[in-house]
Amino acid sequence: MRKSCVARSGWVVLGAVVWLVACGDGAKRRPLGGSCGFDEDCSSGLCFDSVCLDPDADEDVDGLTNGLELSLGTNPSAADTDGDGKADPDELGPGLSGVDTDGDGLIDAVESATADSDKDCIVDELDAHNAVSDGDKSPDVAEVCPAVGVCVDAKAVLAVTCPTQTDQPVCDFGRVPFHEPVESACDLADNDCDGETDEGCEVGFDGLIGHWQLDGDGNDTGPYRDHGVVTGAVAAADRFGAAGKALRFANVGDRVTVTATHHPLGEATVSYTLWVKPERDARVDQAVGLFSFGEIAENRRSGLVLGAGSNAERCAGYIGQGNDGASESACVPAGHWSLLAVVKEGRRVRFYLDAKPAGEVELAAGQSLRRTSLTIGASKQFASGVVLEPFVGVLDDLRVYRRAIDAAELGRLVSEGTWGAAGTGGNPAQSCLHALRAGRGVGADSDGAVVVDSDGDGPRAAMTVWCDQTTDGGGWTLAWVYGFTDFAAFTAAGNAVTPIPAWPVTSADVAVSRVAPGGPSSSGAIDWAEWEDLGTSFLVTSELAGGFACDSRGVEDGSLATGLEGPVSCRVVGAGAGCAGALPDWVFFWDYGPGLSAENLFFYFDGSTVDNWPTHDACGLNAAPTVTAPTRAGGAVYLR
């Protein structure tokens, strides 16, 4: 590399380079071959790769002087700058001028005639955009890419790529709508462009009777083309971030209406799948509709709703002529994409969340559809045409089958494209419970780090948390790990828990943490402002006092996550046997910190080093702990 203290000009005169030096004389100049940092360090006026060179010499013996090579941008120490087998002089034009074949501002001598930086089957020397693939402009497209199936109408977006060598192009179908590497959709289309349609599907289209992709419209891409009309709903980005590939519903009257579909009448086996991303909605005490076949006004219908819940999540329910059934596990978190599926066989209804079984119900009676109309995005409609209780959020890709689909088929739907399981960087979970329900497993081998984003599309950033997917059914997000300021003098005023979360206390004086603990042995606390979205049920564990899991579901209940004092329903959890018959039933918040109590204290998370002490008593007697040498002097709080 050539270094100079100021910018300078140079020009070529009869093959020699004349250098204009603008630096002062400074220290003594160094001879040829001496070490240097700048051109002015050298008596020759040329410093390259920390060595003083003669601008009139030919360091790499390629017939070009060092000075000329630097003016051209080639390497004076390498006879073949770009390593493509052609010497630098052989890639120059008349009068040793630079030649730029592809017009990108880089001469051929510095652009390889063999390398392909962007893997688009065009070597850099001939590629005007070395960092941007131009594979769609390659003449190889016509030879390499098939011209059948969904590829026929996608010629403009077909491209080739050369992942190994430029003479081995393969077709890139990445931008071809509806293309599938392995055909799975039964839609009367050749999705893998192999000349065969719906291979592997049963007679017809494997039971698919409707496929409303909701790509900003109400069109049905299934075999019957039962198209609908969009009212109010607007185009939105789908789960991959593709603009206009989904529909957003927000207001009363927003819906897609299909006058008649091929949904079977009467009692029939049917399966529904739908991608759902709810938004936060003040009407958490009301059920909202996703879609409904049949007569909504007379309740002769078959469809899916999200029940009353919270801003964190709502759980799915099946509606069927008054014979409804709900799941407590098919719960959809706000701001996150989830695939809901319902399979109805007779009176049995099975729910799935992201291809994982999420509950089953038996209906009290059958149902009999008399009409096959479809409404997407509303749960109630009266004879006047008024639509109430709209779904607020984004819906995508409603599929309806005249048969029972299974978890394996749903798994293929979930893994389409680049979509990953909830809890990954590209698809953060809402909490550890969401990750568990979406298939992150249960058991000790599933405990560990998961990426979560507690408010979905909200302002909070995603973070990595530690999940306990084993204890008490799993789904626990580690929110706080703490120690003590003076464990040896446990009941002294100077002993307190540390650090503490940023919860609503007024007189604590220990450190406050807003950094998620890395694991059960790593101190820290998730920002308390996020706790409620991670779950209002909590699990308190400590070797000093065993463990208690406490549920808080009513609006009047207390919770460490909400900052509200009130009743809780607790149970002993974990290896610690607790104290016979002793359970806390109340959450309190005092000036120094919160705690759990009954007649007396079980836990008091005292954050003051000037008064009180941090009770940890499994018997709830506000007594000092009997464990004097714990493996870890501290404890943890998990949320679910």
pLDDT in tens, 124-179: 999 999 988 888 888 888 889 998 988 987 777 899 999 888 788 999 998 888 88
Mark whether 246 and 374 lie in a shared domain: yes
User: Does any domain span residue 183?
Assistant: no
Residue 530 to residue 277: CA distance in whole angstroms: 20
Mark whether 368 and 491 lie in a shared domain: no
User: Does any domain span residue 436?
Assistant: no
pLDDT in tens, 510-567: 999 999 999 999 999 999 999 999 999 999 999 999 999 999 866 679 999 999 999 9
User: Does any domain span residue 369?
Assistant: yes
Q: How many domains does the chain have?
A: 3
Q: What is the pTM of this model?
A: 0.63
Helix (H) or strand (E) holding 10: strand 10-13
Mark whether 315 and 392 lie in a shared domain: yes
Mark whether 623 and 484 lie in a shared domain: yes
Mark whether 372 and 486 lie in a shared domain: no
User: Does any domain span residue 233?
Assistant: yes
User: Does any domain span residue 145?
Assistant: no
User: Does any domain span residue 596?
Assistant: yes
Burial class of residue 538 (count of CB atoms within 10 Å of its CB; 0-12, 13-18, 19+): buried
pLDDT in tens, 466-508: 999 999 999 999 999 999 999 999 999 999 999 999 999 999 9
Mark whether 234 and 317 lie in a shared domain: yes
Q: Residue 50 sits in which domain range?
A: 10-106
pLDDT at 312: 76
- Domain of 388: which CATH number? 2.60.120.200
Mark whether 579 and 507 lie in a shared domain: yes
Q: Which of 48, 77, 106 is the last residue of a domain?
A: 106
pLDDT in tens, 39-77: 999 999 999 999 999 999 999 999 999 999 999 999 999
Mark whether 477 and 611 lie in a shared domain: yes
pLDDT at 385: 52
Q: Which of 106, 126, 144 is the last residue of a domain?
A: 106
Q: Taking residues 423-436, what's their average pLDDT?
A: 90
Closest by CA position to 277, among listed 228, 344, 337, 207:
337
Mark whether 614 and 483 lie in a shared domain: yes
> In 10 A of CB 555, how many CB atoms?
10
- Average pLDDT value over all residues in the chain: 87
Counting every residue, how long is the chain?
640
pLDDT at 501: 98
Mark whether 226 and 88 lie in a shared domain: no
CB 380 within 8 A of CB 388: yes
Percentage of the chain exceeding pLDDT 90: 62
Q: Which of 82, 106, 130 is the last residue of a domain?
A: 106
Q: How confident is the model at residue 205 (pLDDT cuts 50, 70, 90)?
A: low
User: Does any domain span residue 603?
Assistant: yes
Map tokens 């709900």 to a residue. Answer: 326
Mark whether 358 and 501 lie in a shared domain: no
Mark whether 400 and 260 lie in a shared domain: yes
pLDDT in tens, 70-128: 999 999 999 999 999 999 999 999 999 999 999 999 999 999 999 999 988 889 999 99
CB 38 within 8 A of CB 82: no
User: Does any domain span residue 450?
Assistant: no
